[in-house]
Amino acid sequence: MIQKTELNNSIRILSKRIPGVHSVSMGVWVDVGARDESLEENGLSHLIEHMIFKGTKRRTAFQIAKEFDAIGGHTNAFTSMENTCFHAKVLDSHTHTMIDILSDIFLNSVFDEAEIAKERPVILQEIGMVEDSPDEYIHVLSGNAYWGDNPLGRSILGRRENIVGFGPEAVKSFFHRFYRPERIVISAAGNVEHGWLVEKLKSSFEVAEKNAQTFKRITPEGLSAVDLHYRELELAHICISAKGLSITDPGRYAFSLLNTILGGNMSSRLFQEIREQRGLAYSIYSFVNSYFDTGMFGVYAGVDPDRATECIDVIIKEMRKLKSRRVTKSELVNAKEHTKGNLLLSAESVDNHMVRLAQTEIHFERYIPISEVIEKIESVTADDILDLSRRLFEPETYALTLLGPVDNKSDYESYRPE
């Protein structure tokens, strides 16, 4: 059973009681992320994610860690382009302690200058780790190539020069501007009673004041580009970016199945053609990045530099096939079963229930049961996928990004044959 309560200051609390489990997963979600930052602020959301655990008026960073460890709990946080989440999971007998700690670190963090100074090199190392992992870094580069100067084209981790310069005032100013009640959703799933949960949270969170200020996200247009980044590597890492759909677009179910059929699993067209038939790449897959107002479809491959153009041609050819003829009945059935299986398996995790509660509330302002999602998946036809492919896969809008021993741009300028 899903229950929802909205506090007087607009903070929304959602819970789902799951019979038979002995744990509770809870997350404090904020509808703010890297795309809400200016260029000079890039990295602040991610820095705040780190600093939330670095001390409050009541607890030091060590006490926060010790108290969670003492109850056998797991706690973490993450930052995305549009959301920040601080979450934990404990045995139901320790739910009160979890609520107390999560409430304290979210509402009372001091953002101490000494702690920020200690955390800077940690984040700089995190940036370096991504840059040292070409199969990860290519996604940062491809996002920049496709979205350009829009915040969606920047790294969530931030720019080094920003991280070095951020101090307590910058952190506090950003936090107080954006981490406001009207942007906050608290979700919990597991062996938890809704009325009790609301009472425990209300005393802490209802003191937070609403902010009349509104924030507008700028919807970007995807860019067409050929973007080469030379680096001495064994492989050439490739990303092809194309138009995508927003999280709320009615075509999102067809979009998910299109992704699965093209490159979403081991039986997909790209995996079979590029890895199994041609031996071109060990790693080949397609992916979707969807946001509240826009999206991007992408394909990644890591290949021998001498065969990079061949691999690109095959990817483009497979994308073109989706535009020219319907997917087969067996492909569509298998993609639906694959997607439904993933959904139903995820439903066995209280963490995933907690995440779905918050995300559906943020994006749709209502809970969407898995049964409804499955019904929508089942209703997708081969014609839907054909129409969507024609709508999204326009060669003149593709962006191609390469990272590795590639330096001759002219080799890739004609990568969009039609």
Residue listed under structure tokens 């003191």 = 207
Q: How far apart are the first and last CA of the chain?
A: 51
Q: What is the CA radius of gyration of the chain?
A: 23
Alpha carbons 262 and 269: distance in angstroms, whole number:
5
Decide if 198 is inside a domain. yes
Other CB atoms within 10 A of residue 331 CB: 19
Last residue of a domain, one of 142, 174, 205: 205
Please check whether residues 174 and 230 belong to one and the same domain.
Answer: no
Please check whether residues 34 and 173 belong to one and the same domain.
Answer: yes
Last residue of a domain, one of 177, 205, 233: 205
pTM of the model: 0.94
Which residue, among 255, 297, 303, has the nearest Cα to 280 in the 3D structure?
Answer: 303
Compute the Cα dihedral for 386, 391, 396, 401 and give only its sign: negative
Over range 70-98, report the average pLDDT. Answer: 96
- Three-state DSSP at 274 gives helix
Strand 295-303 relative to strand 236-243, pairing: antiparallel
pLDDT in tens, 306-361: 999 999 999 999 999 999 999 999 999 999 999 999 999 999 999 999 999 999 99
**Catalytic residue set:** 49
Percent of the chain scored above 70 by pLDDT?
98
Decide if 164 is inside a domain. yes
Total structural domains within the chain: 2
Please check whether residues 278 and 149 belong to one and the same domain.
Answer: no
CA atoms within 13 A on the CB side of 217: 20
Range of the domain at 116: 2-205
**416: pLDDT strictly greater than 60:** no
pLDDT in tens, 62-82: 999 999 999 998 999 999 999
Please check whether residues 172 and 34 belong to one and the same domain.
Answer: yes
Which residue, among 131, 138, 130, 141, has the nearest Cα to 283 in the 3D structure?
Answer: 138
Decide if 217 is inside a domain. no
- Three-state DSSP at 208 gives coil
pLDDT in tens, 386-400: 999 999 999 888 999
CATH of the domain at 385: 3.30.830.10
Question: In the structure encoding, which two tokens stand for residue 15, read together?
Answer: 């819970």
Q: Which residues, in sequence order, are CB contacts of 174 under 8 Å at separation 6+?
A: 37, 41, 44, 45, 48
Please check whether residues 388 and 305 belong to one and the same domain.
Answer: yes
Alpha carbons 411 and 404: distance in angstroms, whole number:
14
**195: pLDDT strictly greater than 90:** yes
Q: 288 near 257, Cβ under 8 Å?
A: no
Alpha carbons 365 and 169: distance in angstroms, whole number:
33
What is the model's pLDDT at position 418?
A: 44
Band (228; pLDDT cuts 50, 70, 90):
very high
Instruction: Phi first, then psi: give them for residue 407, nearest 5 degrees.
Output: -140, 0
| C-alpha 55, offset from chain centre | 27
Please check whether residues 168 and 239 belong to one and the same domain.
Answer: no
Question: In the structure encoding, which two tokens stand for residue 152, read together?
Answer: 């969606």
Decide if 269 is inside a domain. yes
Residue listed under structure tokens 């008026």 = 57
- Three-state DSSP at 1 gives coil
Please check whether residues 187 and 233 belong to one and the same domain.
Answer: no
Q: 195 near 94, Cβ under 8 Å?
A: no
Last residue of a domain, one of 173, 205, 237: 205
Residue listed under structure tokens 């993450």 = 78
Decide if 67 is inside a domain. yes
Alpha helices in 326-368 (DSSP H): 329-346, 350-364
Decide if 417 is inside a domain. no
